[in-house]
A and B are shown apart, each in its own frame.
Chain A
Amino acid sequence: MKSRRWLLVLGCLLGVVLLAVMAVGCEEEATPGGGGDEGTATTAAAVEVPRSVLEGPQGPPSDDVPQYGGTLVLLHNRVPTNIGAFFMKTGFADVQQCRYALEGLTGLNSKGDPIPQLATSWDVDDVANTITFHLREGVTFHDGTLFDAEAAKWNLDMYRNGEKKDLQDVVSIEVVDSLTVKLTMSKIDVNFIQSLSSSSAGKMISPTAYETLGAEAIKLHPVGTGPFEFESYEPNVALKYKKFEGYWQEGLPYLDGVEIRYVADGVAALTAYKAGEAQALYDVGVTDAAELEALGHTISTRVMTIWGIAGDMKSSSFPYSKLEVRQGLSYALDRETAVLGVYEGFNLPTDQLAGENMQAWNSAITGYPYDPVKAKELLAKNGITPETPWKITMTYISGPLEDDLWAMFQEDLREVGIELTLNGTDYAGWQQKAMNGAKNELVNFAFSYNGIEMQYSTSLVGNLSPDRAWYPDLVLSDAFDAAYEAVMAATTREDRELAYQALNKIIIDDDCCVVPFLVLRNRVAKSPDVHDYGFAELTTAEFLPETAWLSGAANPPTTLGGAVTSVSGN
């Protein structure tokens, strides 16, 4: 009895302590970015601040006058393995984290068109099959050596002879003068110039640094011409860049540095971001993005992939091999309700292999707007009805929202006689099915396409060409093959875009070989203190880091960790 009384007293005391702690904790939502002043231009209003001469995918800068100072901290979930030598093997994370230090011969504007960067202009000779680049004068690498035609040739030769298939069409590279380099091509590909601004080819590094540091060390010690130079990399912890005082655009960048901190756990990353320990957060979940947006943060979205359904078309007894079944399946999906409902507008529905503002979008495509009556009609012709359902397994990339999405699609399809058994798996499990073929099953179809025209053709080759490595069970029609050849044979960007659109129409309206339903977008949260930071506006690989600035830079976020100078593995 006595111990029960004590227990009661103890319980009350604990409750009071807990309430007190919660009361202390329930402050107003902290102002992110270290609680600095709101972005104002008053302190810098009287000062002329230089602007970048380059265009970027993020579009023109804001009208606010940039402020100098501060370190922008980005939380990322993948560590780099090679940010310094793109002619060697690179991973997905590398292309997103090198741009601060590396620039290319060309960049991209907000439409994905190639624009000058380290090359001020270029001349294309279709007769002689040459491309002559005129290089920018007065550019130095971070190690003080000059960027000139010899350095450009060295880099392009490394790409040509490197581990990837970049610059395959380049026959020879000639230094015409100190600022002119001429490429002789076996053929002029319409996307070649654009490819130099891509994540893969075209990033220029210092040949001297490569010789000095060595091939392995330079991978995690980029020496380029970019506005930021490498400061340090602590494996799995943080990559630090600092302002390059010798940057060719005088007066830029505005930031003192950029720090990329690696956080594997999404909850930890979000908590740290909300606590003001970082000003940008890569790969925010939809629910969190909605919450942050309501709090005044900016959510940049970048198209990553078009998702759809693909299946085995080779087995004649398998219902998916029948056009009417595929069409019925497509009509049965209420894309708008499911996608907009689950993703709260951060991802978009589609029934084409493109989103509405993308080059391959074809407004002439009829598609398959939600029509369960029509779906039932088409399926019934093939013996599929709610009374005699088609039972099939669907393998998809699982996630909390994806599970909800597929549950909604499952209901849509049940209504018309398709009983889906959902097999949600991780990315690796899905990838294996997509590459090895899903015999007598349906599988999530993913078409990487971030709005860059070159990316579309690359994905086309990988996913839908006759030599494709993925979805081997798709059967592509003769009309598709002819349209695909037309795409590859196009000699101008405009012709190729028209060819994409024609191909898109065949894939969707004529063959319906895949059933697209979603434009999947990646999200990056940026705190209200961050301005003109174009990361992940069109593509994460290309943006203008020199335009980014922080308001309230006098109160930078908490720096975690001490000084680190070691480079991993070396």
Chain B
Amino acid sequence: MTSYILRRLFLGIIVLFIATILVFVMMHMLPGDPLLLYLGEQYLNYEPEQLEVMRAEYGLDKPTIVQYFDWVGGVIQGDLGSSINYQMPVSTMIKQRLPVTLNLAVLALIVSSILGPSFGIIAAIRRGRWQDTTVSVLANLGITLPVFWVGIVLMYLFAYKLRWLPTFGYTSPADDFSMHVKMLILPVLCLSMFGTASQTRQARSSMLEVAHQDYIRTAWSKGLKERVVVLRHMLKNGLIPVITTMGMQVSFLFGGAVLVEKVFNIPGIGRMLAEGVTSRDYQVVQGGVVLMALIIVLTNILVDIAYAWVDPRIRHSYR
């Protein structure tokens, strides 16, 4: 098991490395000058020599490949570079924004992890009935509807028309917990939508598969109550694939966070990345992508470990 984890970690580092190269190349292929974008029409107030000094300050005067290795060297030493658009270290920006995104993502994950399997189980044990149909229709909608569109509709309805909730923004729970909750209701609903829907479908499918197993038939024939059959016998095996999808949810959550944070104006990593791309703030995008890639890689490793814990057959196969 230890060697498996170490192997996964090593592969994770390779994945990170490849991700940074891809992002670096793609960002530098985009047209535009980050320094001029930041200065806007203010650039006219600088002499060309002063602009060159600034360019050198950000390493923009160096060849692309040198810029990449300089950045990698910095990352190894804990320096993620400096944002041109925000005029501050990228690590500071991440420290400010990561808790916000994690707050949003964790809540969305909890919501989808509770609702998804629950709906899936209901649909499975009431297969063919109205509960199954309703859940399946809603799950399909949850997967197909674009999250930003849903966000805008929810905002329009609940914030603008009904005035039940604020339109946008984020408040730290330490500052005003009640406002914090109000502000996160819509974003969390949006962000958890896809995860809930996909876990619903996955849970339904895997529970149905388990339901047809011989040992379940034996349990029924023993006269056990439905609750006991489902919770004690079906659930553990039925949820193994669901746990796997939970790991995949993390990548969807971070991807979805980019859109949700933009729509609801939440100052998290997702919005930072979106703005970084628009403003060609290379180091912000690179730093953000490294962080998200790291989180996703680590999460997937944890999921694999959890998978092995849940299924003894997998655990024993590592020996």
Q: Which residue of B lies closest to A93 (CB)?
A: B40
Q: Quick one: CB contact mask for B252-287 with A, threshold 8 Å, 1 for yes?
A: 000000000011110100010011001110000000
In the assembly, what is the distance between CA of A459 and CA of B33, in Å? 19
B231 beta carbon closer than 8 Å to chain A: no
In the assembly, what is the distance between CA of A9 and CA of B134, in Å? 11
What is the distance, in angstroms, from B263's C-beta to the closest C-beta of chain A? 5
What is the distance, in angstroms, from A213's C-beta to the closest C-beta of chain B? 16
In the assembly, what is the distance between CA of A261 and CA of B54, in Å? 29
Give every chain B residue within 8 A of A172 (Cβ-Cβ). Answer: none
A322 beta carbon closer than 8 Å to chain B: no
In the assembly, what is the distance between CA of A564 and CA of B170, in Å? 12
Cβ of A79 and Cβ of B175 under 8 Å apart?
Answer: no
What is the distance, in angstroms, from A83's C-beta to the closest C-beta of chain B? 11
Chain B contact-residue range equals 35 or more
In the assembly, what is the distance between CA of A27 and CA of B97, in Å? 37
B37 beta carbon closer than 8 Å to chain A: yes
Cβ of A263 and Cβ of B30 under 8 Å apart?
Answer: no
Cβ of B39 and Cβ of A91 under 8 Å apart?
Answer: yes
> Would you list which residues of chain B between 124 and 141 have a CB under 8 Å from chain A?
128-130, 132-134
Give every chain B residue within 8 A of A163 (Cβ-Cβ). Answer: 46, 50, 54
Identify which of B36, B160, B171 contacts A435 (C-beta below 8 A).
Answer: B36
Q: Quick one: CB contact mask for A255-279 with B, threshold 8 Å, 1 for yes?
A: 0000001111101110110110100
A30 beta carbon closer than 8 Å to chain B: yes
A400 beta carbon closer than 8 Å to chain B: no
Cβ of A263 and Cβ of B168 under 8 Å apart?
Answer: yes
Can you give 11 A-B contacts (C-beta < 8 A)?
A2-B129, A6-B130, A24-B161, A25-B161, A27-B161, A81-B87, A236-B267, A236-B271, A268-B264, A269-B265, A431-B33
A145 beta carbon closer than 8 Å to chain B: no
What is the distance, in angstroms, from A439's C-beta to the closest C-beta of chain B? 14
Cβ of B179 and Cβ of A432 under 8 Å apart?
Answer: no
Identify which of A7, A264, A429 contacts B274 (C-beta below 8 A).
Answer: A264
Q: Quick one: CB contact mask for B282-297 with A, threshold 8 Å, 1 for yes?
A: 0000000000000000
Given A30-B163, A431-B32, is A562 in contact with B46 using a C-beta cutoff of 8 Å?
Answer: no
Cβ of A237 and Cβ of B169 under 8 Å apart?
Answer: yes
Cβ of B130 and Cβ of A3 under 8 Å apart?
Answer: yes
Give every chain B residue within 8 A of A199 (Cβ-Cβ). Answer: 42
Q: Which 6 A-B pairs rank lowest in CB-CB distance, beginning with the nearest?
A: A428-B32, A562-B175, A92-B40, A6-B130, A562-B176, A25-B161
What is the distance, in angstroms, from B117's C-beta to the closest C-beta of chain A? 22
Give every chain B residue within 8 A of A427 (Cβ-Cβ). Answer: 32, 37
Give every chain B residue within 8 A of A267 (Cβ-Cβ). Answer: 152, 155, 263
Cβ of B42 and Cβ of A90 under 8 Å apart?
Answer: yes
Given A237-B169, A431-B36, is A264 in contact with B262 using a C-beta cutoff of 8 Å?
Answer: yes
Give every chain A residue within 8 A of B42 (Cβ-Cβ). Answer: 90-92, 95, 199-200
> Would you list which residues of chain A between 62 and 107 have a CB under 8 Å from chain B?
79, 81-82, 89-92, 95
Given contacts A163-B54, A427-B37, A429-B32, 5 further A-B contacts (CB under 8 A): A21-B162, A275-B163, A558-B166, A560-B166, A560-B183
In the assembly, what is the distance between CA of A267 and CA of B128, in Å? 41
Cβ of A164 and Cβ of B46 under 8 Å apart?
Answer: yes
Pick from B62-70, B88-96, B219-227 the stretch touching chain A.
B88-96
Identify which of B38, B44, B96, B132 contacts A458 (C-beta below 8 A).
Answer: B44
Give every chain B residue within 8 A of A46 (Cβ-Cβ). Answer: none
In the assembly, what is the distance between CA of A421 and CA of B89, in Å? 41
Cβ of A235 and Cβ of B96 under 8 Å apart?
Answer: yes
Number of A interface residues at 8 Å Cβ cutoff, please give it: 66
Q: Quick one: CB contact mask for A229-259 with B, threshold 8 Å, 1 for yes?
A: 0000001110000000000000000000000
> Would you list which residues of chain B between 79 and 120 have a CB under 8 Å from chain A?
85-89, 92, 96-97
Give every chain B residue within 8 A of A214 (Cβ-Cβ). Answer: none
Q: Which residue of B lies closest to A27 (CB)?
A: B161
In the assembly, what is the distance between CA of A268 and CA of B265, in Å? 7
> Would you list which residues of chain A between 546 and 560 have a CB under 8 Å from chain B?
558, 560
Given A6-B129, A271-B167, A275-B167, is A562 in contact with B32 using a C-beta cutoff of 8 Å?
Answer: no
Give every chain A residue within 8 A of B279 (Cβ-Cβ). Answer: 428
Cβ of A428 and Cβ of B128 under 8 Å apart?
Answer: no
Identify which of A89, A164, A219, A271 contacts B160 (C-beta below 8 A).
Answer: A271
B214 beta carbon closer than 8 Å to chain A: no
In the assembly, what is the distance between CA of A92 and CA of B279, in Å? 12
Q: Which residue of A lies closest to B39 (CB)?
A: A91
Give every chain A residue within 8 A of B18 (Cβ-Cβ). Answer: none
B159 beta carbon closer than 8 Å to chain A: yes
Q: Quick one: CB contact mask for A488-520 with B, threshold 8 Å, 1 for yes?
A: 000000000000000000000000000000000
Q: Quick one: CB contact mask for B176-201 with A, threshold 8 Å, 1 for yes?
A: 10010001000000000000000000
Cβ of A569 and Cβ of B133 under 8 Å apart?
Answer: no
B144 beta carbon closer than 8 Å to chain A: no
What is the distance, in angstroms, from A220's C-beta to the closest C-beta of chain B? 9
In the assembly, what is the distance between CA of A237 and CA of B264, in Å? 12
Cβ of B47 and Cβ of A165 under 8 Å apart?
Answer: yes
Give every chain A residue within 8 A of B280 (Cβ-Cβ). Answer: 428
Q: Which residue of A lies closest to B88 (CB)?
A: A569
Q: Which of B40, B134, B264, B274 has the most CB of A within 10 A?
A: B40
B157 beta carbon closer than 8 Å to chain A: yes
Given A277-B166, A569-B89, is A91 in contact with B45 using a C-beta cutoff of 8 Å?
Answer: no
B218 beta carbon closer than 8 Å to chain A: no
Identify which of B48, B54, B86 contacts A81 (C-beta below 8 A).
Answer: B86
In the assembly, what is the distance between CA of A440 and CA of B241, in Å? 57
In the assembly, what is the distance between CA of A25 and CA of B157, in Å? 7
Give every chain A residue within 8 A of B275 (Cβ-Cβ). Answer: 264
Give every chain A residue within 8 A of B92 (Cβ-Cβ). Answer: 568-569
What is the distance, in angstroms, from A441's C-beta to the closest C-beta of chain B? 13
